[in-house]
């Protein structure tokens, strides 16, 4: 199968997945005040990344904010590239970011159908290209807070996933104390394709458990989503629906 043909097959699959995705959006997100001193906001990071203020409102423009947007979010591609944009977190030297395949079964991070993208020592500007050996796959990202160490409200082997339905409810799995009540939002995903090129997403992770109480530093969580922010280039769940054949050829015709 040629790359373009394979991509079109992937598109058909995307349509299927979109139709069967849980229609849980709109997804309300409870933001907090950052514990970081000096304060660095996700909005500030976004403005710097895009080169101008006001293009994206991080409080309202994340995928899932509006009714009808895919929830949970995922990507579907044969590869992705990732660029580490910014880390503002006490755990920045330890946090590990990885990818994982979503095949519908339980997700276990064990080196099979998952892998590390950025390790603790990686910093802003780090880049990776991951090519899936099996071709087109449905995938997401996980954050392992503090790496091999246990994080606050995240004892090993707990990870935080871009698919919020994989995260424990509340701080310890005993239930959410603030919205959304059906899955903690540990990562926000923004479509930045119109400024950064087709199929480009900015992903912003919170590195302590979203479901804890929002507190002054440092007991619960600050839900500032600036802890690990990275750019992904890959076909996502919604963008693919609008992708033209020309755009596909541009992506895969090289």
> Distance between CA 37 and CA 143 in Å, rounded?
23
Instruction: State the chain's maximal CA–CA distance in angstroms.
Output: 55
Q: How far is the CB of 219 from Ca ion (least distance, A)?
A: 13
Complex with Ca ion: residue 191 or 209, whichever CB lies closer: 209
Beta partners for 130? 80
Find the helix packing angle between 245-252 and 3-20, rounded to 10°. 120
CB of 164 to Ca ion, least distance (A): 9
Q: Which residue is nearest to Ca ion (CB)?
A: 211
CA pair distance 66, 141, nearest whole angstrom: 22
Polymer length of the chain = 254
Q: How far apart are the first and last CA of the chain?
A: 15
In this complex, which beta carbon is closest to Ca ion, that of residue 102 or of residue 206?
Answer: 206
CA distances from 167 to 131, 160, 183 (A): 26, 6, 6
Residue whose CB is less far from Ca ion, 80 or 142: 142
Residue 4 Cβ vs Ca ion, minimum distance, rounded to whole Å? 41
Question: How many angstroms separate the CA atoms of 164 and 73, rounded?
Answer: 8
Instruction: Using the minimum distance from each CB to Ca ion, give the nearer residue, 76 or 166.
Output: 166
Yes or no: say if 76 and 138 are a contact pair by the CB < 8 Å rule.
yes
Alpha-carbon torsion (249, 133, 75, 117), positive or negative: negative
Residues lying near Ca ion in the complex (CB under 5 A) = 36, 88-89, 153-154, 167-168, 184, 206, 209, 211, 222, 224, 226-227
**Of 56 and 88, which has the nearer Cβ to Ca ion?**
88
**Shortest Å, Cβ 98 to Ca ion:** 17
Question: Tokens in use for 85?
Answer: 């944009």
In angstroms, give the least distance from the CB of 22 to Ca ion. 18
Question: Which of 69/224 has CB closer to Ca ion?
Answer: 224
Nearer to Ca ion, 69 or 184 (CB): 184
Q: CB 175 → Ca ion: shortest distance, Å?
A: 10
- Residue 92 Cβ vs Ca ion, minimum distance, rounded to whole Å: 9
Inter-CA distances, 55 with 19, 197, 250, Å: 29, 15, 26
252 CB neighbour count, 10 Å cutoff = 18
Tokens of 147: 């790496």
């Amino acid at each position: 199968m040629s790359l373009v043909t394979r991509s079109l097959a992937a598109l058909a699959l995307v349509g299927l997945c979109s139709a069967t995705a849980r229609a849980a959006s709109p997804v309300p997100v409870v933001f907090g005040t950052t514990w970081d001193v000096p304060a660095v906001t996700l909005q500030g990071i976004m403005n710097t990344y895009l080169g101008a203020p006001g293009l994206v409102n991080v409080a309202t423009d994340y995928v899932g904010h509006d009714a009808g947007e895919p929830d949970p979010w995922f990507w579907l591609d044969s590869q992705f590239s990732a660029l580490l944009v910014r880390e503002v977190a006490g755990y920045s030297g330890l946090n590990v970011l990885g990818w994982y395949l979503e095949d519908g079964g339980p997700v276990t991070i064990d080196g099979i159908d998952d892998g590390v993208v950025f390790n603790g020592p990686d910093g802003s500007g780090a880049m990776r290209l991951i090519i899936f050996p099996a071709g087109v796959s449905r995938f997401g990202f996980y954050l392992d807070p503090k790496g091999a160490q246990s994080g606050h409200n995240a004892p090993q082997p707990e990870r935080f996933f871009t698919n919020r339905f994989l995260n424990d409810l509340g701080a310890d799995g005993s239930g959410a104390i603030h919205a959304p009540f059906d899955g903690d939002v540990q990562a926000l995903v923004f479509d930045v394709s119109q400024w950064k090129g087709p199929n480009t997403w900015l992903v912003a992770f919170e590195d302590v458990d979203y479901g804890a109480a929002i507190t002054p530093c440092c007991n619960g969580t600050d839900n500032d989503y600036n802890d690990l922010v990275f750019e992904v280039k890959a076909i996502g769940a919604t963008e693919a629906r609008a992708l033209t054949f020309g755009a596909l050829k541009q992506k895969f015709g090289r």
